[in-house]
Amino acid sequence: MTTPAGHISIKNVTKIFARTDLNSTLVALEGVNMEVRPAEFISIVGTSGCGKSTLLRIIAGLETATFGQAYCDGEPISGTNPKRGLVFQEHSLFPWLSVRDNIAFGLRAAGSYKSGAKLVEGLISIVGLSEFADSYPHQLSGGMRQRVSLVRALVVRPDVLLLDEPLGALDSFTRMNIQDELLKLWNEHKNTMILITHDVDEAIYLSQRIYIMSPRPGRIAREIPLRMSYPRNRGSSEFVGVRNEILRRLDFAKEEQEEYNL
Amino acid sequence: MEALRPRKDNEEVKMTGKTASLPPVPTASGQPLESRAPTPWELRQIEAAPKSKSRAAADRVICALPLFMAAIVLIQYKLTPNLADAATTNIYTGFILLMAFLVLVKFIRSIFSKKSFENLLEKAPLYTAGFLLSALYDYATLKTGILPLPYFPWPDRILNGIYEDRVLLLDCIKNSLILLFSGYFAGAATGLLTGLSAGLSRRVRYWILPMIQILGPIPSTTWLPIILIVAASLFGGSVFLIALGVWYPVTMTSMQGVLNIPKANFEAASILGASKLRLLFGVALPAAMPNIFQGLTQGMSVACTALMVAEMMGVESGLGWYINWQRGWAEFAKMYGAVIVICVTFSVVNFILNFIKRRVLRWQEGQWN
């Protein structure tokens, strides 16, 4: 076997956005360092506007860092690559393609649709959408659409899967279902998962490590390793303990900032 | 009928605490649907208020109305005296009989199928009005001369004109369509090319936009006198003229279509490994399709206008030429006949365009239901 791929390394990344309308600039990320091992599942938690999406887009290759550099398997990241898949929050399915063709898009782009047609059908049935394979995105519910997005990103077998609040717009029952599917898919494909979420429970339920980010400018405030075994029980004392700790630390981060501001 | 009532019974089910088993959904034919979900049409039938007996009878009469009116047209044509020395043929009779026969087929189908009954019920007043109009026109021309010759030939005369010149007219249709589509496809293809690339690339837009702003407001037919002199062949010149008219709306709408595409679509595609070519033909083109079809429809009406003008002014074939040529002979019946043929031809062309549009834009939300 080859050495496992999917190592992400962020070295001192700073991202500054230009706000041309205000003729000013905005520091979105400042000095972010992060290491993600192959096949690891990590989450990035933080309040909105803390730059976590920007960080993910830099890893995806959709944005370039102003200072510092992001690396994937030792190579500096420049531009997108099907090795690093991304699942958006919503509205990113191609409305003119059926569920099947949406999922097959990556294979067609790689010119391997013929050999991968079975894989497409298999993934469709894993997420329970066999009946909807020929439906168009507007005919699906929000949960179904996100399942399709997930599978569409997985079909090209990426080493790294970046999840940008993929379940943020869904109701809590659908979320819990898809969270279990996500773990199942992770177990099967053994890829590196980087999840962005503002749902602390989701982060604890899914990941092996949690980064907490503080806003303006976006920085890594804390790194919390989780050693609970899967599947995790949302009601266990350990789970609740970790949640309280994270919430306390999120609050603590705020206190620190307030003190600093005084 | 019981099951067709709006379901207030659901509340009763809850009150008595019975396990909620809904009554079987009835179809239009009264058979339960079993586990199958109703189609939209069946659903409308289920939810519609039941019709009263008198209303149902009135509906049947409305469906038969076009047939009565067709009979009146024929009686009026055959039995009332014509103007002096007006010769008539049986072509008009045949035409009315053919139309009446088509309605009769629909009427017979409506007895057996509820769907075609509703369709006919909706269209019957229009058909009736059509027959009534032709009866009135026939009365005002052939029977009384209120509308005088030669400017207002009666329907039988117009139909005879078309029939006499049928070979020439078919040839004209062929020539017109060849010219129309040569120009249309040339214009649509260039329009797509410039529009898509202007939408995708800022640099192309920089050069294309001023061109559009200057050329756009000029009706393409304005160029005709110049083209007639400069162009090596009249056909080539006319193709250019039509293409120019189509190019403008297609360029505008496809550029706008590309500019309106959400950025997330391009990002998702490039993350999945799409090449530049696939971004153009696999994302930009299909995503801009709704706008592009607006341009293609607009372009078709411009193309038809340009075609007529070109044929009337210079090209020596086609329907526009035919109508102008008959004017020289003061053959009013044949001119009216040509108008009818043009109407039918362009209607068919637009019908086909619409059909393609519906197929291609099937994916659009709530557009075609």
Tell whether A106 lies on the interface with B, counting CB pairs under 8 A: yes
Tokens found for residue A86: 């991304």
Given a cut of 80, whether residue B6 has pLDDT beyond it is no
Q: Are A94 and B273 inside 8 Å of each other by CB?
A: no
Given a cut of 80, whether residue A239 has pLDDT beyond it is yes
Tokens found for residue B80: 């009332």
Tens digit of each residue's pLDDT (9 = 90 or more) over B66-89: 999 999 999 988 888 888 777 788
Write the residue in B273, B275, B286 that is nearest to A96 by C-beta.
Answer: B286
Q: Are A86 and B265 inside 8 Å of each other by CB?
A: no
Write the residue in A61, A94, A153 that is nearest to B265 by C-beta.
Answer: A94
Among A23-32, B125-134, B153-162, which is the least confidently predicted range?
A: A23-32
Residues 129-158 of A with CB under 8 A from B: 136, 138, 152-153, 156
Report pLDDT for B20.
Answer: 44
Q: Check if the beta carbon of residue B234 is closer than 8 Å to that of residue B178.
A: no
Q: How far is B171 from chain A (nearest CA, A)?
A: 41
d(CA B244, CA B266): 31
Three-class DSSP category at B21: coil
| Confidence band for B367, pLDDT divided at 50, 70 and 90 | low
Name the closest residue on chain B to residue A61, using Cα atoms: B271
> Is-cis flag, bond preceding B286, omega within 30?
no
Q: Are A95 and B363 inside 8 Å of each other by CB?
A: yes
Q: How far is B181 from chain A (nearest CA, A)?
A: 27
Q: Check if the beta carbon of residue A96 is closer than 8 Å to that of residue A139.
A: no
DSSP string, B189-207: HHHHHHHHHHHH-HHHHHH
How many helices (DSSP H) and strands (DSSP E) are in chain A?
A: 7, 10
Chain B residues inside the 8 Å CB shell of A136: 362-363
Q: Check if the beta carbon of residue B344 is closer than 8 Å to that of residue A76.
A: no
Tens digit of each residue's pLDDT (9 = 90 or more) over B85-130: 777 888 999 999 999 999 999 999 988 888 889 899 999 999 999 9
Q: Are A106 and B282 inside 8 Å of each other by CB?
A: no
Tens digit of each residue's pLDDT (9 = 90 or more) over B284-303: 899 999 999 999 999 999 99
Q: Check if the beta carbon of residue B323 is closer than 8 Å to that of residue B339.
A: yes
Report pLDDT for B24.
Answer: 53
Q: Which of B143, B298, A243 is nearest to B134 (CA)?
A: B143
Three-class DSSP category at A194: strand
Tell whether A113 lies on the interface with B, counting CB pairs under 8 A: no
Q: How far is B367 from chain A (nearest CA, A)?
A: 11
Write the residue in B267, B274, B363 that is nearest to A136 by C-beta.
Answer: B363
Q: How far is A103 from chain B (nearest CA, A)?
A: 10
Write the residue in B278, B286, B287 that is nearest to A109 by C-beta.
Answer: B278
pTM of the prediction?
0.76
Given a cut of 60, whether residue B369 has pLDDT beyond it is no
Q: Check if the beta carbon of residue A24 is closer than 8 Å to that of residue A46.
A: no
Q: Are B265 and A81 inside 8 Å of each other by CB?
A: no
Write the residue in B268, B273, B283 that is nearest to A88 by C-beta.
Answer: B268
Q: How far is A260 from chain B (nearest CA, A)?
A: 38
Q: What percent of chain B stands above pLDDT 90?
A: 48
Given a cut of 80, whether residue B8 has pLDDT beyond it is no
Report pLDDT for B125.
Answer: 94
Q: Are A95 and B365 inside 8 Å of each other by CB?
A: yes
Is A135 exposed, middle or buried, given 0-12, 13-18 or 19+ CB atoms closer than 10 A?
Answer: middle
DSSP letter at B3 equals G
Tell whether A62 lies on the interface with B, counting CB pairs under 8 A: yes
To probe the interface with A, which of B260, B265, B270, B272 has the most A CB atoms within 10 Å?
B272
Tell me the one-letter amino acid at B340.
I
Residues of B with CB under 8 A from a CB of A: 262, 264-265, 267-275, 278, 282-283, 286-287, 289, 362-366
Q: How far is A244 from chain B (nearest CA, A)?
A: 36
Tens digit of each residue's pLDDT (9 = 90 or more) over B200-255: 889 999 999 998 889 888 888 888 888 888 888 888 889 999 999 999 999 999 99
Q: Are A153 and B272 inside 8 Å of each other by CB?
A: yes
To probe the interface with B, which of A83, A96, A154 has the most B CB atoms within 10 Å?
A96
Q: Check if the beta carbon of residue B293 is closer than 8 Å to that of residue B361.
A: yes
Report pLDDT for B314.
Answer: 80
Q: Are B273 and A62 inside 8 Å of each other by CB?
A: no
Chain B residues inside the 8 Å CB shell of A138: 363-366
Given a cut of 50, whether residue A6 has pLDDT beyond it is yes
Q: Are A96 and B278 inside 8 Å of each other by CB?
A: no
Contacts of residues B218-227 at CB distance under 8 Å and 24 or more positions apart, as own/partner, are B219/B245, B220/B244, B220/B245, B220/B248, B220/B302, B220/B306, B221/B245, B221/B305, B221/B306, B221/B309, B221/B310, B224/B309, B224/B310, B224/B313, B224/B314
Q: Are B271 and A136 inside 8 Å of each other by CB?
A: no
Three-class DSSP category at A70: strand
